[in-house]
Chain A
């Protein structure tokens, strides 16, 4: 489904702030794969997501989605088949628009954004939105015409999840989408995510800082460090892996970059 081959990205090239965020990263996801990604801050997880979603173009390499080369496709074109959730629940919705209006903006993807731009939202579509909202079990279907700004963070994130999947995407990118929610709401949103991904057979990538989640959720675990994928486990190997093993790996990789810094500093001292 998703095929990333040898992508690299350097920010601020040629300046003192030069930073290699992705280096020669390759990744392949099969149709219906649900992979979790762990890695320390600055490992390049969000950069990888931004590269896939098209927030910027990569310096090198190619990205293919469902057999189609999207390397140089614009962000808003890609978002037609890539759903996306951010850590900040406020980012995925428009606060001054009603729940119904938010959903209908998300539903524009169904028509590719071109057909009937002067038409209004039909009764049939409203009924569809209502059915989808009922699925959340939060009573939002009764509040279709109240502004989204009045909802809690958890409700907004659940709504964003609905918006990202209202037209089934080919790929769903979840960037720590439950990190800012309280434990009860987080598990609710997570259950919902699992349900939607399973039922619609969506290929999914999810960043998490919860090692237990990383091993339990989905069917594949990736670890990133220094803009690379340093660990990729699935199947038998993954089912035997414990949180401690993953933590150890994590510390090792985090330590490596720490060591690199130390080496850099010491050589600077010697000079």
Chain B
């Protein structure tokens, strides 16, 4: 594996880790299956691309995050106000977003922003050493993800953040503690989806284009990162868990790059993704099974040994 491949894997992994962070908030913390991720990611991408093309690459970031938050608000509204199940609410919003995304891109399925300034080209201009020119993208992305991770960690320790955690952990307790679950779910989903929007905006400026089908299967990828992170890092402190999510996302990209190197055809990528997710999910259980069978074998062996010894003693007597 060359440095180039590692670098690209890290860069894309960092962008995707924002979606994983988003799912960390909705899936792990709020205990909600938010399936609008695919559409929301494309929305962020479309809004980001259009804003960048208009000459506002920096403004594109809050715009995409705002668009993501709006999408999250809709999902939350359907769930809390009208009592639609979270999975259904996500699917409904996801479907609606397809048209919205097309509309944002001026009813074309593809927008290219080659030749315009992006946050990456602006950032590149800050230095001119050889080193800087090859690593500036990674540095910028690392800064953004670090800031996002710090924000999540801080936010979850505030009173509002604690209420959101409690909402996902024990609904009965929340209702008995003067917290309005509708409010906490709404805030949680808005923040979560604004991260997805941010990831979309970054990928648009990174790839210099936006495509209507870009988001397909994003939920699986983000879930994979989440699960890999939790498998490796367990359920420790909040900061540790957030770091695990980012690590999981980068590791996932490494595995994909490895598959690329092994000449796995691109058509098989979705299958590879699904297999990785399944393996990550199976791993903890499989570990337990192996431990148990080892323990059983040892226990049976020692019992058989004891019986044999007893038999021998009786014979001797």
Contacts and interface: CB of A to CB of B under 8 A. Distances in A.
Interface of A: 53, 55, 74-77, 79-80, 83-84, 86, 91-97, 101-102, 104-106, 108-109, 111-113, 116-121, 163-164
Contacts of A86: 172
Contacts of B177: 79, 105-106, 108-109, 163
B172 A105 contact: no
A109 B178 contact: yes
Given A79-B178, A94-B173, A95-B170, A120 B165 contact: no
A83 B177 CA distance: 8
B173 A108 contact: no
Contacts of A120: 157-159
Contacts of A93: 170, 173
Residue among A74, A95, A108 with max Cβ neighbours from chain B (10 Å): A108
Contacts of B178: 76-77, 79-80, 108-109, 112-113
B246 interface: no
A92 B162 contact: no
Contacts of A106: 177
Interface of B: 157-160, 162-163, 165-166, 169-170, 172-181, 235
26 contacts: A53-B176, A74-B180, A79-B177, A80-B178, A86-B172, A91-B170, A92-B173, A92-B176, A93-B170, A94-B173, A95-B170, A97-B162, A97-B165, A101-B162, A102-B166, A105-B166, A105-B177, A105-B179, A108-B163, A111-B159, A112-B178, A113-B180, A117-B159, A118-B160, A120-B157, A120-B159
B162 A75 contact: no
Contact of A94 (B157, B166, B175, B235): B166
Contacts of A116: 159
A76 B181 CA distance: 8
Contacts of B180: 74, 76, 113
A116 B169 CA distance: 22
Contacts of B172: 86, 91-92
A98 to B, nearest CB: 10
Nearest to B176: A84
A105 B176 contact: no
A142 to B, nearest CB: 18
Residue among A76, A79, A93 with max Cβ neighbours from chain B (10 Å): A76
B214 to A, nearest CB: 34
Contacts of B165: 94, 96-97, 101
A85 B158 CA distance: 26
Residue among A79, A116, A121 with max Cβ neighbours from chain B (10 Å): A79
B158 A79 contact: no
A119 B159 contact: yes
Given A76-B180, A96-B169, A119-B159, 17 more contacts: A75-B175, A77-B178, A79-B178, A92-B173, A93-B173, A94-B165, A94-B170, A96-B165, A97-B169, A105-B174, A106-B177, A108-B162, A108-B177, A109-B177, A113-B180, A118-B158, A163-B173
